[in-house]
Amino acid sequence: MPELGKVSAKVAAALLGVAPYARQSGASDRNGRCSGGRKHLRDIAYMAVLSAIKVKDPVLGSFYQRLRARGKPFKLAMIATVRKLITILNAIARSDPAFNP
């Protein structure tokens, strides 16, 4: 994702299609995720989060477990954790351009 580190965390999440999206009309108020985005990258990030949860990653795994403990459904907790991963990667790319994993 070439925009990583050059855009805000909200824009990065929207580019992947994991940004929260409010659908409001009159008295109706529903929430969901932004449709669209880069499906291939979203799938990769989703699988990375799934692996992080299985190996009990201290950051992403604990974030996911906190959401599940609050009663959030599996899919919602996964998408929120994917968004957190993208936010972390965006911050790393922004703060340290010489970062070499």
pLDDT in tens, 38-63: 888 888 999 999 999 999 889 999 99
Q: Which pLDDT score is estimated for 33?
A: 61
Distance CA 31, CA 20 (A): 7
Distance CA 89, CA 7 (A): 12
Residues 6+ away with beta carbon under 8 Å from 11: 3
Stated pTM of the model: 0.79
Query: What token pair was written down for 87?
Result: 């936010």
Can you say whether the dihedral through the CA atoms of 12, 5, 55, 64 is positive or negative?
negative
Classified as helix, coil or strand, 21 is strand
